[in-house]
Amino acid sequence: MNLLTLDNLFLLLTGLVAIYLLWRFWGRYSARKGVYDVYYMMAFLVLLVSGLLLIFLGYGILGTPFVLTVASLIPLGLSMGIVEQYFPSWKKAYQWFALLGFLAIAATSFGGLELLRKIAVPLFHSVAGLVIFLGPFLAKGAPKGFYWAGVGGALIGLGGIALAFLSAGSQLLFFSQSFVLAILAPLLLLMSLAFAWGFVKDIQA
């Protein structure tokens, strides 16, 4: 297996950005004990592990129930962190939605419930993606530049929803399987860089 491919380089760089963000979030959590930083760390830890799995095992693992379920922790962690930090009045309702969404994805994926999985996966990823995309733009009191996290949300939402449709056995617009897999690695890197810029601005505020 050739690990020295352009896609693997993109994935490796994405992992390095994830490690940097984990370090920054841990520093803020150590000082402030904000639960939102725990959610953010969960998301980027899963991103780091997912990237390493893609490097060593290939894109074929994307359709497995385990990876499909665990990967949903990325949008779940990011969206729950944003709601916890900037929209606390909505956090209880969103926590229930996130929990039910995660359990639905896990149950339908491992249980082979194809019809329900085709509903649960795109629905959860769509709502979480919108929270990650719109949240930084609508957040009151957010520092200047935090909107870049929303740009990252747009990128992860686009890729995540496309993958969700593919895993459900259908196609989103022109996002065929070959096209999604071709842009996935550079998209993850661009997403992680946008998140890094936005979240570091937030951490420094």
pLDDT digits (tens, 9 = 90+) for 19-35: 999 999 999 999 999 99
What is the structure's pLDDT at 3? 57
Residue 15's pLDDT is 96
Range 64-88 average pLDDT: 90
- What whole-number distance in Å separates Cα of residue 123 and Cα of residue 116? 11
Distances from the Cα of 50 to the Cαs of 12, 39, 126, 141, in angstroms? 11, 17, 20, 33
Q: Percent of the chain, pLDDT > 90?
A: 51
Please tell me the predicted confidence (pLDDT) of residue 159. 66
Q: What percent of the chain has pLDDT over 70?
A: 88
Global pTM value: 0.89
Distance (Å, whole) CA 165 – CA 40:
25
For residue 197 the two structure tokens come to: 């810029």
- Span 147-183, pLDDT tens digits: 999 999 988 777 666 565 555 555 555 456 677 777 7
* Residue 166 near residue 175 (C-beta atoms within 8 A): yes
pLDDT tens digit sequence for 95-137 = 999 999 889 888 887 887 777 777 777 788 788 989 999 999 9
Provide the pLDDT for residue 187: 87
